[in-house]
Structure 1
Amino acid sequence: MIKGRRGDQEVIDGLLASARAGRSGALVLYGDPGIGKSALLRSTAERATDLRVLRSVGVETEAELPFAALHQLLRPELARAEALPEPQALALKGALGLGRAAGEDRFLIGLATLSLLSEIAEDGPLLCLVDDAHWLDRASADALLFAARRLDAEGVALLLAARDGFSAPGLPERRLGPLDAESAAELLTERDPHLAEGVRSRILAESRGNPLALIELPRTADPYTLMPLPRRIQEAYATRIAELPAGAQLMILLAAVEDTGDLGTVLRAAQRLGLGAESLGTAERAGFLAPSGGGVTFVHPLMRAAAVHSAAFDQRLVAHRALADVLDDRDDRRAWHLAAVALGPDEQVAVALERAADRARTRHGHAAAAAALERAAELTTDREALARRLAEAAVAAADAGLPERAQALAERAARLVEDSRSIARLAGLRARVAFERGSVHTAHDILLSGAARVAELDPVAAGLMLVDAGRNAWQLSDPQRVEEAAVRLRRLPLREEDGLNTAVDAVAAAAESLNHGPARALPGMRPLALDARGIERGSYGLRVNGAFVAGLVGEFEWQREISAALVEECGALGMTGWLPIAHVTLAASAICLGRFADAKADATEGLRIARDFGQPHRTGYLEGMLAWIAAVEGDDARCAELAGRCAEHFAVTGIANGVAWSEWAQAMLDLSRGRHTQALDRLESALAGPVRHQIQAVYFAADQVEAAVRAGLPDRAKEPLDRLAEWAGAARLDWADAMLARCRALVDPGDELFAAASRPHGRPMERARTELVYGEWLRRERRKREARTRLRAALETFQRLGAAPWAERATAELRAAGEIVAAPAVSGALTDLSPQELQIVRLAVTGLTNREIGARLFVSPKTVSYHLYRAFPKLGVSSRVELARLDLGAA
């Protein structure tokens, strides 16, 4: 029985009870070495007799073996992978070395892990225990955390134990503290009731409530030794190992350096060294090793560390050599054991490590590949091979999400490479790392420098870097940097067959937009959006750029068409890396088209994936759009929270498009609440910074005009009115002409202008706002009957869109116009759905199965089923058949 952990056990029992009820959850237990994390996991397994239990343990040196911990966890149930959707099954088998690696996106493996856990839980609640999670290989950690954040309605409880430093953002956590004095004394008495009182008092004081210390310190020869507690426990284990027969000591060392817990490998190596099964039995009876089935584990992780660190250097070499001798050349473990015995440069071992890295990369084990290539470089003397291995290690580290390590490796490689292709590749990599870390200015400068070095040798490589540089500078709203990239592009001797003409035009148009205003860029940008509409599959970068450009030229239907196809394709194929940015453009188009429920669902999903990928620039962008939606809904607190987060991201990245949305959001909230001067001041302040170069400065010009007029400051309406007029004249779009007419009518009211503003177009929110201001003017002109017609239309649209503050304004105006109106009820079938429910319903209507929907949304099929049937009552249906008959329209 565990002492002093009643509160911790109650929390875990709640997790188990939820799993028994069909709901899922995860919990991370943090604590110092020996504090009782492993004991609590063992106790949980003993008490969960009615749950299926899967276990995995992280091993300190297993970073070189991709998906080792995931394989250990799922191994008993891998046969059930056949029930998964084919792309997921192939991805998981390839990752675990059970099939051909198909090169799928690494997050597809996380989805496959989630689906397999859900499949196992079909037979009853499932408990997954992961000990020493801080030592998980990076690939396993990514997959498990991806799955853990999406657990919902599967009946799965996931419990991870880790030391400080293990990062599991988004998961609940609980810290295990030291035992209280009474529990510590009880445990010590139970373990060693005959201690002398002086020794007992000293151990209680020295252990500081650490359970493992209370168990092991009495066994040390000198319990008064002064050293850090984990080290003292490790030394106690080392002392116990030294008392064993030599054969048992060597058996323990073999198990310690073998890492994966493969009992067969340990026994074959032991046999090669003349050891028999009796040595394993001795180690087991001494309480160090626990053989079970085909595996062998240590009773406590510090025992492994003690075995390795207490062994002499020559003993460790003998163990590694024996293990290498019994492993196949295609086994990555062999390469690492050979590397462990290499005492100097060794090209054969370096080649073996390179091959291990290649295998790891095909299985998305990028962290393992980086480690193998870095070790290979340490064994290399040839300058060219050294540069190549360092460069490949840097790429793998970047792909693994290890930016600091990638940057250090890339800088070492950059000092050695001389060929243009390697120079360009490393410059691109260093810029990518800088961009992902939020240093966009640095990324731009790296690309310009790299392009200059290869311009004569490889104009195409230089051109690609300059296109990236121009795009980065545009996101920074930096006209000079964009112009510099555009000028250098024009100087390159590019040919038509190089395929860069469209990209060069895009950078030139971006420079024109930032230097002379977005209206000047419209003629050059519109063809780019048209071209993107014609790309049916693949070419993800061109289509994303095309979707962005479609938004810049005001063609929101085009933008949604391109983005929706991209999201669908990437979701179906598991190309998750492109999904955050595709969701950005999809949500932006939905906002502009007045489909706010869709926009909220799209942006929420994009934000979830962007956070998984660690993309602060995408995260800030999506938070800015969600702040805008919260403003329209009248959720003041949510708007402020999201705008604050967005501002924090902007402070780090300097990327302006997200903060443009958040500033606009706060101004929209002010405007809807009647705080006209505050709205005007906010927008003018935003325009004093980089927001002035963003397209939002055109789109919120109408709000600026309205705020100025309503604040009684018509002089401050002139500049935004001119800004909108210039853009609308160049765009020649119905909605832009209508908004311009509304702004002119606000400045100088009249039926003709209001009638022009009221003409039909594809932006319902803007039409409703026109009806509102038109109705207000008609009421002031004492034309109340006409006013009521306009105001009713406005109210109906605001209610349908979920725009609560605007509905309240329309209601107040209707009452002032003499109509008895109930309090506004902003609700409807779709607006009552949560973002996830709306996404699931929309996909279900298309006829996709729960498995197919789960694959698209990166959730389990059981979660799809749970949310679908929560949505049914809100929609007034009871089956998929009835759901298919609904006209869901635009949300």
Structure 2
Amino acid sequence: MLRGRDDDLRAVDEVLKGARSGRSGVLVIYGDPGIGKTALLSHATEQAAGARVLRCTGVETEAELPFAALHQLLRPALTRVGSLPGPQAAALRGALGLGAGGGENRFVIGLATLSLLSEIAEDGPLVCLVDDAHWLDRASADALLFAARRLDAEGIALIIASRDGFHAPGLPERRLRPLAPGAAAALLRDRDPDLADAVRARVLAESGGNPLALIELPRTGAGFAPAPLPRRIQEAYGARIDALPPPTRALILVAAVEGTGDLGVVLRAAELLGAGPPAFGGAEELVTVAGGTVTFAHPLMRSAALHVASLDERLAAHRALAEVLRDEEDRRAWHLAAAALGPDEQVAAALERTAERARERQGHAAAAAALERAAELTADRVRLGGRLTEAAVAAADAGAPERAHELAERAARLVDAPRPAARLAGVRARIAFERGAVHTAHELLLSGAARVAELDPGTAGLMLVDAARNASQLGDPGLVDEATNRLHALRLRPEHGLDSAVIAVAARSESLARGPAEALPAMRPLVADAGRIEQGSYGLRLNAAFVAGLVGDFPAQQEICAALVEEFRSLGATGWLPIAYATLASAELHLNRFRGAMSDAEEGLRIALDSGQPHRTGYLEGVLAWLAAVRGDDARCAELAARCRDQFALTGIAHGTAWGEWSLAMLDLSRGRHALVLDRLEEAQAGPARHQNQAVYFAADQVEAAARTGEPGRAAEPLARFAEWAAAARLDWADAVLARCKALMSGQERHFTTALRLHGPRERPMERARTELLYGEWLRRERRKRDARTHLRTAVEIFQRLGARPWADRAAAELRAAGDSGAVPASTDGRNDLSPQELQIVRLAVTGLTNREIGARLFISPKTVGYHLYRAFPKLGVSSRVELARLDLGED
């Protein structure tokens, strides 16, 4: 019975109840040492009758061994790995050291973890319990958190217990508080009914409601030391350990240093220290020995064992373990490093090899730790700089930019040679960009490229391409020109493979500084040749997609990015997915495929947050803000636009905030708040959006707002801006929008009819609907209500089909004002009722993919795929995949 924990017990029981009913749930329990976290996990085990239980505990000494905790959790179920899709099975085996590591992306390993847990849950409810999560190795934590965020309909309960320091954003959490006085008194009475009143009062006062303190403090006697509570408990444990016979103390120390609880290893190492045969007698309250494992009753007991031992005793224990672990190179290397008191090149080299193996298994945090420790054991200046540089790279790959920054700055004081200096400059620039210091990243890339330009022009060229790309996101023509000029000065040869990049960078520079008449003709060949760019050249292909957006060729942009997303998903190259999804969603938005754009932007945002790419979120949130504006979701639009502004304040990257300001203007435009639209877009155009491509596309909205407010003078500049771009773009849709703008400014009907003639039947239907609406409004004001009704009905139908509710409402109001008093039929398009994830799943199901294949593409479990299809079918009016395949789910 757990005293005073009724609410906490109910929270745990709710998660277990959900698993029994087929729904998954997660709970992260935080609390101080001794507060009762482990007791709640024990309660969960007791209440999990009929469910399978998997457990693991974070171990401090294994915090630098990649996937150690994940292996501990999944070990009882590893025979089922073969049932996973081939790439996932191979990735998980490689991560757990059960097969050759193939350098799989950590998201593939996370997906494999989710799939394996889902596979186990097919047999019934599954309960996964993780204790001391603050000591999990980073690779295991990443895999478990990846799975936790995607649990849905599998019937899995995941309960994690941790002290502060384990970060699980977005997951339900609960913090354990000290016991109330009544519950504390009851617990103490249960454990020590005969305690003297004075001692009882002192224990209650000193314990502060900590259950472990209530249990342990009475054993220390009346003379409590004036120290923090965890330390007092630890010292009490230490006194008990110190009173044990020397052989038992040696065994306890080796178990504490070894950390994993492997009884065989502990006994062999202790024997090297002269401990003799097993001698755990008298330590039964400190450790439990069962099933070949030795376990400390509480983490503070292990800390106490280390604290009471002398330095010489601890070093001897590490050396003994290193001797016993000769066949386990990574663990041996760490014990040798722990025993080293000064520079040791042999041990440093062993740690370097450990880091390489960790990288092969995507254990980047473990690699960073091994390289940093190797650097501490390195005397040679050149090797020290190199190891610190590689540690910084690994830390950056692990999503730890602050740690990476500190390592890189230490390396910067040591690295002199051009090639290593360029390598270091590249990682420092990457870290600076991810921390929001885009100007610093630009300067580092320029200086690094200069150092290596003569020795390795190809590497220098790639760095300059990145510099120009970063500068374009800042909207700074001068910085783009600087990088472009240096790139041209390299006189790269075809074998460097950067021809397309040079063209793309030059085109961006021209679009920023010289205007569309010169820039767009230079850009089109790159878009046309995009299909011939080498398949693995992801950055160059993304460049081509970005340039396609600049020239207004949204079908090409969508085609390039859809192929890239498919490729990245199949390869597990998730680091590239956020920017690919952002560019794809932007293309779909401009094509007015709003449902697909929302689905892809949501998925890109989720992966950006999971993969630690905050600099990508502004772009994705900006796209989502615009889509929220079109749907009429005022609160969501305002929230996302505010986030875009916050990101701009942190990073200076203008693309996201340009989307955000345009989104708010679109919301105002749909509501008829034209003066606000005009003010907002003029301010955006004068500020960070000036050199972003959104400024071209929202020019038509400025013209409409100026016309409706009766301020034609404020329409002149945006009209000229869009007209100049449209003349260079030579696209029917652009000419149609330009004609609509001219109609608004001149009041001449011929411009409206020209616009409608140029609008394609399915290309950018939102623009056609807006022209129909504005033409209908003009006709009504000209007292031609019958003609107006035709155009307004068309506008209502298109807006409804697109899910553009405020626009449909506005068109319906105009239709009623034009004399059509009949009710406007509601949209019957079931796609409007689908959530973004349901739509994404349905789109893939129509292609014939199985639930397992869809799950692998979307990083969710097959069971979740089935659940969402089950919810989507009635919304679409179908009951099976056969009927689903007959639907026309093409975008408008």
Which of 492, 498, 516 is 2:496 aligned to?
Answer: 498
CA contact (8 A) 1:21 1:155 kept: yes
SS at match of 1:279: coil
Residue 277 of structure 1 and its aligned partner are, at CA, apart by 5.6
> What's 2:871 paired with?
870
Give the 5 Å matches for 1:74-223.
74-223=74-223
AA matched with 2:171: L
Q: What is the aligned counterpart of 1:345 among 326, 343, 346? A: 343
The answer (yes or no) to whether the contact 1:126–1:155 under 8 Å persists in 2 is: yes
Which position in structure 1 is the counterpart of 2:407? Answer: 409
Alignment match, 1:819: 820
CA contact (8 A) 1:814 1:821 kept: no
Determine if contact 2:62/2:260 at 8 Å carries over to the other structure: yes
- Contact 1:632–1:803 under 8 Å retained in 2: yes
Contact 2:61 2:258 in 1 (8 A): no
Q: Distance in 2 between matches of 1:458 and 1:511?
A: 24
- The amino acid of 1:145's aligned partner reads L
Residue in structure 2 matched with residue 596 of structure 1 by the alignment:
594
Could you say what secondary structure the match of 2:278 adopts?
Answer: helix
1:492-571 pair list within 5 angstroms = 492-535=490-533, 537-571=535-569
Moved over 4 A (4+): none
Tell me, in whole angstroms, the C-alpha distance in 1 between the residues paired with 2:784 and 2:886: 42
1:277–1:518 CA distance, 2 compared to 1 (3 A):
farther
1:690 alignment partner AA: P
Code of the aligned partner of 1:248 = T
CA displacement at 1:456 relative to structure 2: 3.4
- How far, CA to CA, are the matches of 1:470 and 1:424 in structure 2? 17
In the alignment, which residue of structure 2 is the partner of 1:297? 295
8 Å contact kept, 2:199–2:222: no
Task: Tell me the CA shift for residue 460 of structure 1.
Answer: 2.6
Q: Is the 8 A contact 2:203 2:217 kept in 1?
A: yes
* More off after superposition, 742-751 vs 380-389: 380-389
Deviations 1:575-634 (A, max 9, x none): 111111111011101111111111111111111111111212211111111110010001
Measure the CA separation in 2 of the matches of 1:521 and 1:194: 89
| Residue 796 (str. 1) matches residue 794 (str. 2) | no
The answer to whether 1:429 aligns with 2:430 is no
Closer, same or farther: CA 223–627 of 1 in aligned 2, 3 Å = farther
- What is the alpha-carbon distance in structure 2 between the residues aligned to residue 350 and residue 841 of structure 1? 53
**1:232 matched residue in structure 2:** 232
The Cα shift of 1:63 comes to: 2.3
Q: Deviations over 1:250-280 (max 9, x none)?
A: 1111111112222222222233334456324
Q: Look up the equivalent residue of 2:622 and give its one-letter code.
A: G
Residues 124 and 709 of structure 1: is their aligned pair in 2 closer, same or farther, counting only changes over 3 Å? same
Aligned AA for 2:370?
A: A
Tell me which residue corresponds to 2:265: 265
**2:16 equivalent to 1:20:** no
Q: Deviations over 1:709-740 (max 9, x none)?
A: 01111111111100000000000011101100
SS in 2 for 1:830: helix
3-state DSSP of counterpart to 2:128: strand
- Aligned residue for 1:693, secondary structure, equals coil
Counterpart of 1:730, as a letter, is: A
Q: Relative to structure 2, which stretch is displaced further, 674-683 or 195-204?
A: 195-204
Cα distance in 2 for partners of 1:313, 1:192 equals 37
C-alpha RMSD of the superposition: 1.5
Q: 3-state DSSP class of the match of 1:128?
A: strand
Describe the shift of the 1:362–1:197 C-alpha distance in structure 2 as closer, same or farther (beyond 3 A).
same
SS in 1 for 2:160: strand
8 Å Cα contact 2:500/2:540 also seen in 1: no
Q: Which runs of 5+ in 1 are unaligned?
A: none
Q: How far off is 1:516 after superposition?
A: 2.7
Residues paired across the two proteins, number:
889
The aligned residue for residue 882 of structure 1 is: 883
**Does 1:57 pair with 2:48?**
no
The one-letter amino acid of 1:662's match is G
**Does 1:847 find its partner at 2:848?**
yes
Which segment drifts farther, 858-867 or 784-793? 784-793
Is 1:594–1:764's contact at 8 Å kept on the other side of the alignment? yes
The range that moved more, 489-498 or 34-43, is 489-498
Determine helix, strand or coil for the equivalent of 1:240.
Answer: helix
CA distance in 2, matches of 1:94, 1:685: 54
Structure 1 range deviating more: 216-225 or 577-586? 216-225
Matched to 1:299, the amino acid is A
> Partner amino acid for 1:56?
C
What secondary structure, in the 3-state scheme, does the structure 2 residue paired with 1:55 have? Answer: strand
| Other structure's SS at 1:157 match | strand
Deviation at 1:194, TM superposition (A): 2.1
Contact 2:533–2:541 (8 Å) recurs in 1: yes
Per-residue Cα deviation, 1:183-214 (whole angstroms, up to 9, x for no partner): 10111111122222212111111111000111
Could you give the per-residue CA deviations for residues 608-665 of structure 1, whole angstroms, max 9, x where no partner exists? Answer: 1111112122111111111100100011111111111111111111111111111001
Could you tell me whether the CA contact under 8 Å between 1:63 and 1:367 is conserved in 2?
no
Q: Structure 1 residues 478 and 531, CA, compared in 2 at 3 Å: closer, same or farther?
A: same
Which residue in 2 is equivalent to 1:328?
Answer: 326
Residues in 2 aligned to 1:256 and 1:495: alpha-carbon distance in whole angstroms = 60
Q: What pairs with 1:332-481 in structure 2 (closer than 5 Å)?
A: 332-481=330-479
Q: What is the SS of the residue equivalent to 1:216?
A: helix
| Alpha-carbon distance in structure 2 between the residues aligned to 1:294 and 1:363 | 28
- 1:305 aligned counterpart, secondary structure: helix
Q: Secondary structure at the match of 2:56?
A: strand
Distance 1:189 1:495, change over 3 A: same
Provide the secondary structure at the position in 1 that maps to 2:161: strand
After TM superposition, give the deviation of residue 223 of structure 1 in Å: 4.2
Deviates more, 1:136-145 or 1:501-510: 501-510
Distance in 2, matches of 1:7 and 1:245, equals 44
Tell me the CA shift for residue 281 of structure 1.
5.2
Contact kept in structure 1, 2:501 and 2:543, CA below 8 Å: no
* Kept after mapping to 2: 8 A contact 1:131/1:161: yes
**Shift, 1:374, TM fit:** 1.2
The percent of aligned pairs where both chains have the same amino acid is: 72
Counterpart position of 1:618: 616
